[in-house]
Chains A and B, each alone.
Chain A
Amino acid sequence: AQSVTQLDSHVSVSEGTPVLLRCNYSSSYSPSLFWYVQHPNKGLQLLLKYTSAATLVKGINGFEAEFKKSETSFHLTKPSAHMSDAAEYFCVVPFPSGSARQLTFGSGTQLTVLP
């Protein structure tokens, strides 16, 4: 079965320090990878997407992610955390399912930003 693993359920950083949220996925053909963010009591918002054009992807709010095929990883980074970054982050991979694509979610990483 296809799987997406977010290695940390909780990450805590101080404001102004770097953020690293890790994501690994089972090896299978998938030309797309996504990170979504969910603020409390809000819907899921697309943060960034990889679509085979470039391995380093830039998203909104200063976030980036690097696709590493050899490591089957798609880690999310930000050079300097802001208080407003506190939220739940989901790594999402669309795997082929018959003629369709099934979105598989990681279990999520709760990011806390300390003042």
Chain B
Amino acid sequence: EAGVAQSPRYKIIEKRQSVAFWCNPISGHATLYWYQQILGQGPKLLIQFQNNGVVDDSQLPKDRFSAERLKGVDSTLKIQPAKLEDSAVYLCASSGRGWSEAFFGQGTRLTVV
């Protein structure tokens, strides 16, 4: 079974620029998560989708971050404009039905300079 795919793996941008990350979850997984992991900290949930609907986006900075899940499959996370404090690893994960575990992608390491 293919895992969760994320791209790009690394991205360096200047502050105030925009950036987008892409995630392809495991086939058939209804739930998709985006997490932000700042160096030395645990992952923080940014947004959770159930199929193509948003379940939780309470910690998403909506003035600069946006996310969508196309047709309940792939997802993109966008930051516009980026700030220095957005430097982090952005992790995408997906899970199947019930109380099953989440599978994580390799993450995208964003550096804002």
Contacts and interface: CB of A to CB of B under 8 A. Distances in A.
Question: Per DSSP, are chain B's interface residues mostly helix, strand or loop, or mixed?
Answer: strand
A103 B32 CA distance: 11
Interface in B23-57: 31, 33, 41-43, 45, 48, 50, 55-56
Interface residues on A, range: 20 to 34
B74 to A, nearest CB: 18
B99 A32 contact: yes
B91 interface: yes
Nearest to A96: B99
Contact of B100 (A32, A36, A44, A90): A32
Interface in B70-104: 91, 93, 95, 99-104
A105 B109 CA distance: 20
A53 interface: no
A51 B55 contact: no
Interface residues on B, range: 20 to 34
A8 to B, nearest CB: 14
Interface string A26-40: 000011101010000
A44 B107 CA distance: 9
A63 to B, nearest CB: 15
Interface of A: 30-32, 34, 36, 41-46, 49, 51, 90, 92, 94, 97-103, 105-108
Interface of B: 31, 33, 41-43, 45, 48, 50, 55-56, 91, 93, 95, 99-107, 109
Given A32-B100, A108-B41, 13 more contacts: A31-B99, A41-B109, A43-B104, A44-B91, A44-B104, A92-B102, A94-B99, A97-B55, A97-B56, A100-B50, A100-B56, A101-B31, A107-B41
